[in-house]
Every structure is written in C-alpha cells, then in structure tokens.
Structure 1
Amino acid sequence: MTPTLRSFPGGLAFVDIETTGGPAQRESITEIGIVQVDEDGVREWSTLVRPASRIPETIQRLTGIDDDMVADAPRFEDIADEVFDRLDGRLFVAHNARFDHGHLRAAFRRAGLDMRPQVLCTVKLSRRLFPDHRRHGLDHLIERHGLAVADRHRALGDARLLWQFWQKIHERFPPGHIDAAVRELIGHPSLPPHLDPEQIADLPDTPGVYLFYGERGGESSQLGGNDEADAEAEADPLGPGRARTGARDRKRHAPLQDLPLYIGKSTRLRSRVLSHFAADHSSDRELSLSQQVRRIEWIATAGEIGALLKEAELVKRLQPTHNRQLRRNRELCTWRLATDIVGDWRLELVHAADLDFGRRDDLYGFFRTRREATNRLRALARDHALCPPLLGLEKPPQGARCFDFQLKRCRGACHGGESPQAHALRLIEALHALKVEHWTWPGPVGLREGEAIHVVDGWRWLGTATDEAMLADLLEAGRPAFDHDIYKILVKAVRRLPVVQL
C-alpha cells in the first residue's frame, strides 16, 4: 500500500528545484521535479526552466545544468498552471523546504497565482524522528537509510530520494507515529466538523486579528453570554471600516445567530489559526473551542501594533466568551498626588471616568478596583516605611504615634520624628515605578506602521487610517474612553514606530 497521510487525502508532492543560486525575487529556477503520491499510485514529472540570468559555472558543475540546456526551455510563467495543478491540494514535501517553497511561491506570484500549500520539511522530520543523529542533510539521509541515488543534484533525482526516505520511515515507524510528527511540525489541524475548509484556505499568513464564531442558542451558549455585548455584535460585529473576512461574501456582517467565541491576533494569521486546531488533542480549552466554532472572520492589519490595538478594541466591544483578559473595566482608577491648601502632599483615588488620564502628570498606577489600589499603597507603605495615616490608609491615631511607628515600620512623620517634606520625597520615590506616562504632544499624533497611520490622542486610539479621507474622519470624530490595555500598547508603540505630527 502506498504510504500516505490520513490527514492529507489529496496526497503528497515531493518537490525539488534547481536554481542559478540567485534570490527568489528573481527568475532563478532552472529545473523542477515533482513526485506525486496518492491512493492512485506514484507519478513523476520534471521540466527544465529558462531563468532570467546565466547559470554560474559553480552551479553548472554541481547540477550539470548549463545555459545551452535551458536555452529552449519554457519560462516559469508558461508552465505555472501545470505546476500549480500538480501541487494544489497536496502536502508540499521538500528538503530545506523554505528554499524550494519560497522560490516557487515567488515565481507563482509573478505569474499571477497564489500558492499556499501546507509545507513539510524533511530536514525537520528527520530531526524529529531521529533525534540521536546530529546531521540531517540529504547526503546523510542517503547514507543512513541506504537510499538509491540516481541523478543527484537534479530536481527529479532528489525528489525521488525524498520519496524513498518517506517509504523507509514508514517501514520503521507506524503510520500514526509519522502522522503525529508531521502534524506537529506543520500545525496541520484536525479541522472542526462544522467549519468550512474554504475559510481556512482564505486565511493569509499576514498580521491581523481573527474571530471565531459559534451558534447562538446552541452548545456555545452554555458558556454564558453578555446581553449588552450580544446586541453590539448583532449591530455591527467588526465596526466601521472593517477589513476583509474569511467568508465568501466578504461584505456580510455576522448573522444574528452567531456568537463571538474568541478573538486573537497574530503576525501570521493562518499559522496561528491552524495552531488552535492542531493543539485540540492536548488542551481542554482548545478542544472546547474547536468543537464550538462554526465560522471564522479575519481583519488584516499593517503590522503587529495594529493587530494588538484591534484585538483589544474588539474583545471589549464583542465580549467573546473564551477571552478572559482584555475585558471592560469600568472601575479603573489611579492614585493622584496633590497638595492641599497649606501645601502638604496628599493622595486621592480618582477614576478613569472622572479625568483625562493621558494629559495629567500627577497620576500613579492603574488598578481594576479601589481594593486593589489600596492594597498596593499599603504594600508601598510597608516596603518604604511610610506612615499609613498620612497616606489616608488609616485614621489618625488618638495619640501622637501611629501603630506602624510602634512596630518600627514608620519613621515618625505622624508625630514630627520625620519632616513632612522628607516623608513626601520618600513617597514620590516609592511611587516612581507606578507613574503614568504623560502625553507630551499638544494634540493628536499618528504612529506610522507600513502604509497605515494609527491616530492617537492622550493615549486614546482614535482608529487607523490608510488614506487622507479616513484620517480626516478620525480627527473629527469624538474621542473614546480611556482604556488601560490600549494605553499599554501605545506606550510601547511610540518607542517603536515613527511619530507623525497631525
């Protein structure tokens, strides 16, 4: 029986190419060899390809392919459709697969085609199956497994060697063992039964945000919902200016019966989504998610920062059932260091809804609740020998000394043993690590990421613009509420991305 993978009913394609040694961005392929393997048997195919430049003598000596041999060979664009058909739907297997796959994918793009196969590198597979061996080059596999060599360094000859290697490992290991190793290496999923495979095929391997939806009122509703978030999701799940999604009708909003399950982000959308399903055998959370997902949508972003911002915004707006962080926090508060009418320093707890966090220079720490803020201040008082009554943590003592002074945890500011100025300076020093970043620009600025501009004002993200009209709309729109998660993303972003004055 022909050894194939149950996970790939479309079959396998063992691929090797020869090149001029030039980069993938140029027409450098000189030969392609493919061994197709499926339940119908084994078929071989190869062709010489005419590159855009001469073949260096060193490459001619290695491969035996010279300029005369390829002078009348077809250009890649002339055979692109045939090569695509031989690879389409199959697992792409190659040695140092990044090289072969990278050159072919670049050549396909120049020909107006987009090839996105699952790719298996036999170097990585050999390392996984034979970890005791240090070297896994093709010559080492030939010697180690007794492979029959013919036309070494020619495309079809090397593709045949990979097919031989595949047969050898199936003689040594049970198919399930190899299947598991391959799936782990390529992240190939056991796709959820109710998920259309076409949605996976549409996913790009670019930065962005992905959304998993389940059926409202079905199994996924047992996880608990949020009526307010549900209403928002029904009204407009992705918001204005939404990008492409994984559905065939890319302008369709989420149906009313769809329930947001999970929102994630990645710099490589397709790989990240596939990893959810590849891990469903080992994680209860991933297994639960894969059983409930019915539909996937995605939003492409200019880069990592755009993905982080969009994820934070969508999680708070849609309230997906599986996200546990990045949730709304209406009690967000901070300590404000102020002076009273006689000039003494005092702390007061203020909430995000009550002042413009981003434009103040006297705020320290962000806390989800008053209790968290108070506990953090108590810890600072203990670690820095500050006086709890002077911090407002306790009522002033009846006598001259506070209880912490009696325990030698206060330096005596409560009864004149330490000057108010010295205590205030030590308080400021203790609070320094919690200081909220001050917005130093007089108005909104843009953070440039690729072709996009993230518009920011007072640590509030107004949105992302890709043209002048979008930018004008964002600058005229009202500012959103302060959001701690957005703040953390933006504080790091202003150090990484170019700042544009608007």
Structure 2
Amino acid sequence: MYAILDIETTGGKYNEEGITEIAIYKFDGQEIIDQFISLINPERPIQPFVIKLTGINNEMLRNAPKFYEVAKRIIEITEDCVLVAHNAKFDYRILRTEYRRLGYDYHRKSLCTVELSKKLIPNMPSYSLGKLVKNLGIPLTDRHRASGDALATVKLFKLLLNKDIHKEIVTRSVRSNPKIQIDTKLIRIIDELPAITGVYYMHNEEGDVIYIGKSKNIKKRINQHFTNTNHKSKKIQSEVSIVTYEASGNELLALLKENEEIKKNKPKYNRALKKDIFSHALYKEKNKEGYLQLKIGKADPDKKNIITFTNLAQAKSSLEKIVEEFGLCEKLTGLHKTSGSCFNYSIKKCEGACVGLESAESYNQKVQKVIDKYSYENKNMLIIDRGREVDEKSVLLIEDGDFQGMGYFNLNFQVTNIEIIKNIITPMQNNRDTQHIIQSYLRKRKPLKILEF
C-alpha cells in the first residue's frame, strides 16, 4: 500500500518551514482508496515568493486547522504504507519536522518518484514534476498546489509501476507488510483480489516473485490455484504470502506482459520458457508459373513467416478461413492436393488459379492482401485498445516491423507525438513469441484502432 503525497510550505530557513497545504492519496497499486486534502495554518508567515508560486496567502490560512489538529488523520491514512513523493526527501523531512515539534517520532518507508523516473525512464530532458509529466502526456492541473501535484504523482507512479518489469518496487512494498497466519492467508488473499483482466504475481514472505500468470478473471484464477491439489499447487499454497496484480485492460497486453516478465524474473514455479509458444507457421513461395503459394510448415527460425500458430490443427483451421475470406485457391494453399482443379473451383469459389484461368497477377494481389492484414513486417503502427480505466486507452508501438513495447495514455492526450508515445511505453523484447502473440490476437479479435504512420 502506498501513501502518495505532496506538501506546500511557507519557505524559509532549513527545518523552520511550516506546512501550508497537504494532500495524501492512499493508493493500492491500482486505484485511490482514500484521500486527505487540507490547508494548514502554519502559525508563521509565508515567504512572498512562495505566495506568488502557489497562490496560497496568509489570509487563506487564518481559519485553517493547525498541524496538531490533523496529525492523527495523517498517521492513520499513512499507517502500513510506503510514502511516495516527487523529491520524497523534502516531503518526508517536512512531515518528520512537524511531528518532532509535537514530540512524536514519525517513521515511514519512502520512495522518490524522481529517483525512480531517472532509473525507469532515462534520458528525459527534465525530471521536475511539471516538465516530466508533460513529456509523458500526463495531465496536470493546479500546479504547485498539493492536490494537483499529488494527483499527477499518482499517475506518474502508476506508469512507473508498469515500467518496473523486475517488480523491485512491489517487492520492497511486500516486505514491509505485516505477516499473517497461514490458516487465514489464502482466504484473505482471494477476498482482496478483483475479477478483472491482468497479470498476477505470487510473492513469498521475502517479497520475491515465485509465480506469474495472466487471466481474464484474476480472482477466479487465483481461487483455482488455491483449490488445486497437485504437487505444484500445494507448494505454491504453502509459500505464497501475498498476491499482487496489474490490470491490463485487455487480454493482449496481459499475454505480452506475462510472457515478458516470466522470462525476465524467472519465478521458481513457472516452467522455463525454453521452447517457442508456437509450432507451425504460414509461409509464402512463388511457383514456376509465378503464383504466390501460401503453405503451412513447421516453425523455422531461419525462414520469414507470415503468421505463426500454436499447433497444426490451428494452422489448418486458420488457413481454411483465409481461403474462404480472400477467395484463394485450395490447391495453391496445400489444402487440396490434386493434379487438376481444386474443389472450390468446382463450386465457383475459386477463380481458376489452379488451372491457369486466373492470372498470376490477379491472384497474387489477393495473397498480398492476406500478408498486409496478418503481417506487420516493415510497418510503423500503433495498436490502440481498451485501457484499465474508462478515461484511458492502451497502446502498442511497432516500428519498422519491430514490436517496441506497450503503455497507456489518457483520453485527454492526443496520440500525435511519437516521441511522447516512446516515453510512456514500457520497452519490451521483440522476438518470435511476441510476434506470435500479437498476430494471433489481431487474427482473432479486432482492436479499437490501428494507426499507421
């Protein structure tokens, strides 16, 4: 659990500042579950330059509560939380100073989004909150007011969690959680999980990830893990301490993230992904008459394919649908082995490429349409689909036929600047598995939008 905060102060000498405004958003990694926002009477004058910067003046704070009046609420909302702030050293120091004046020793673990951003989003021109969120397409209102800055920090932190492929942030948070008895553990874990699409992470008591999975219904899938009686499931049940998750908004992003993070983190109870997740592929070749032939073959890393398939049955079923949709010849796709015309020609669904009645030029145009639809080779495109929230969309970036990564953007942000898209995406490996996942998804489902550039 995280307490994401921002504090505005009077300015002045080091450790003599007073708080003028505080905003705290309690964040569970997915959404805000509680919040506290208040002006504070600092009982000392505000520096003139601070008044100009924040718009908060001494008159506004005359009837505001003093810090001792809100101190208990701040302790409660930050209990068992990791404090998160942009330049956390400053906000944490100010809070501890205020509590020290009351004779109370305030301690929390903390994370700084400046430091995390420098690590997870390197080479940005500036890491000040205003300039950073602008370059990431994150909306920011009420700049230099606690609520506006804290809310922007929530959105920035959510992006950083998504980019943290090695789950270092979550692991540190899990380690700080109080431990619970094993007899109530599994029931409590299931009760706290949502029935949403995403990726889930099982952690042991040390916070280490021991299993990663994806599901269209995380709550239901975890329940299956905890009710299975096979050897592996029993081992997981005995070791798991907490389950964290990331909503993906759609199944494609969940598939890609699961594939990437299993390979990156190598959890002990995930099978090592030594083999490709597909066995067959669709290839093209030109025969001596000049016709492009589509043929199913075993997946070969040295051959360029159009589409990949999990197994031979899936490959044949998909090719039959392609033949039907594009009016291709069964003979030239290997579905009907014959020395004469194919069966579809006899029922007038083939225009006679099998017996030379349809020209190679005409037939090859149909084959090219198949390639254009199912292969993104050499293409520059954005695949846009549902996001995790109603005001959000997901985006996959493909450049020159290579998958670059995935991310999310707010609907208030127009997808016109590719450089901003590159900043918000989580870079991911471009390999045969990711190509298979994307092609399979596009073949079976239609995303909201595909933009080529």
**TM-score range relative to shorter protein:** 0.3 to 0.5
TM-score by length of 2: 0.37
TM-score by length of 1: 0.34
Larger Rg: 1
